Amino acid sequence: MKKIVILVSLLIAGCSLFGCATGAKFTEVQPKMVAESPGMSRIFFYRTSVLGAALQPDVLLNDHKVGKAVAQGFFYADRSPGNCIVATSTEVERKLSFILEQGQTRYVRFSVSMGFFAGHVYGELVDNSVALEEIKDCKYIEDKKN
Amino acid sequence: MRQRSSFGSVLLCTFFLGCAFDVAHIQYRQSQFTPVPEFPKYIVMKDSVEITEGPCAYYSRKLRQGTTWDFVGTIPEGEIYKPRDQVLTIEASHVYEAYLVLSNDSLIGFYLPVEGSFAALPSPRKLPIEVKRGG
């Protein structure tokens, strides 16, 4: 009986960790906080929670894929100032709209809410000070294309 | 026969529950934004304010004490104030960045800059603000 409990616990732990980001930590990568090209702006995308880690929807920024919302992971994208719409889809599509100004850095956090067949991954715009604390332990998702 | 009707009920529930995740919408309408060339004034929130009605009915929003909001333009409904030190969004199925819309020092709704739209509160809400001149 004890063995079964241990086995089930390991299985649950394994399942919750499966799908988490594995790259270097934000604090180790130390990415620049602002866009490298003049006239551009930077958006950081991150997801702190391991809840629903197996769900890793594509992240679309103005209809172009920029990465995946991977649990405990982060990535960033430099874009021209203007309107931004970030979309993620699981069983439904969730959108976040915001304005990106020149030289600005913005932070989008992904969270998971309950769905019917699958959880819903949605983006939220976060205050810079809050985001910088939350993103510290997230790991860099290098391959943005897949 | 009873089993069949139970199965039908479950199917019906499944259908409606499945839909329910995407039906929480915020009502807003297009509104013509006119920017001001320089920011002639700004407001400071003297106390925290929690908004739980209208566009904030699904997810309440808090305007934090001490935050500063720049007067950036107008729409026919009122004056628009953009946050300097607080991110403000309104949220239902989707999340929208939002600015405050004030008329006579009362909050009457939110301006959604990407959508170019106005989302009204059910009734004006007096805000504890201090109006300051200059940018």
Q: Say if A14 falls within a structural domain.
A: yes
Q: Say if B37 falls within a structural domain.
A: yes
The band of A91, judged by pLDDT with boundaries at 50, 70 and 90, is confident
Which residue in chain B is spatially nearest to A124 when comparing CA positions?
Answer: B95
Q: Say if B21 falls within a structural domain.
A: no
Query: What separation in angstroms does the CA of B68 have from each of A4, B42, B126?
Result: 58, 7, 17
Q: Say if B19 falls within a structural domain.
A: no
- How much is the pLDDT for A140? 93
Shortest CA gap A87–chain B (Å):
9
Mean pLDDT of A51-77: 92
Share of chain B above pLDDT 90, in %: 72
Query: CB B95 to CB A126 under 8 A?
Result: no
Q: Say if B13 falls within a structural domain.
A: no
Task: Point out which residues pair with A122 in neighbouring strands.
Answer: A111
- Report the mean per-residue pLDDT for chain A: 85
Mean pLDDT of B115-121: 97
**Is the predicted ipTM greater than 0.90, yes or no?**
no
- How much is the pLDDT for A22? 78
Q: Say if A63 falls within a structural domain.
A: yes
Q: Which domain holds residue B104?
A: 29-133
Is residue A39 within 8 A of residue A102, CB to CB? The reply is yes
For the record, the structure tokens of A7 come out as 């086995």
Number of domains in chain B: 1
- How much is the pLDDT for A12? 47
Q: Say if B16 falls within a structural domain.
A: no
pLDDT tens column, B81-109: 999 999 999 999 899 999 999 999 899 99
Can you list the positions of beta strands (E) in A1-142?
A: 41-47, 58-61, 64-68, 73-79, 82-89, 93-100, 105-113, 120-126, 139-140
Share of chain B above pLDDT 70, in %: 82
pLDDT tens column, A118-142: 788 999 999 999 999 999 999 998 7
- How much is the pLDDT for B62? 96
Q: Say if A146 falls within a structural domain.
A: no
Q: Say if B76 falls within a structural domain.
A: yes
- How much is the pLDDT for B85? 94
Which residue in chain A is spatially nearest to B86 when comparing CA positions?
Answer: A127
Task: Answer yes or no: is pLDDT of A6 > 80.
Answer: no
Number of domains in chain A: 1
Which residue in chain B is spatially nearest to A100 when comparing CA positions?
Answer: B114
pLDDT tens column, B10-33: 445 444 444 445 567 889 999 999
Q: Which domain holds residue A115?
A: 2-140
The band of A20, judged by pLDDT with boundaries at 50, 70 and 90, is confident
Shortest CA gap A37–chain B (Å):
24
Q: Say if B75 falls within a structural domain.
A: yes
Q: Say if A24 falls within a structural domain.
A: yes
- How much is the pLDDT for B2? 52
Query: What separation in angstroms does the CA of A114 have from each of A54, A121, B56?
Result: 14, 9, 20
Query: CB A125 to CB B113 under 8 A?
Result: no
B27 has a chain A CB within 8 A of its CB: no
- How much is the pLDDT for B15? 46
Q: Report which residue type is found at B83.
A: P
Q: Say if B122 falls within a structural domain.
A: yes
pLDDT tens column, A69-78: 999 999 999 9
- How much is the pLDDT for B80? 98
Nearest alpha carbon to residue B94 among A88, A36, A101, A25: A88
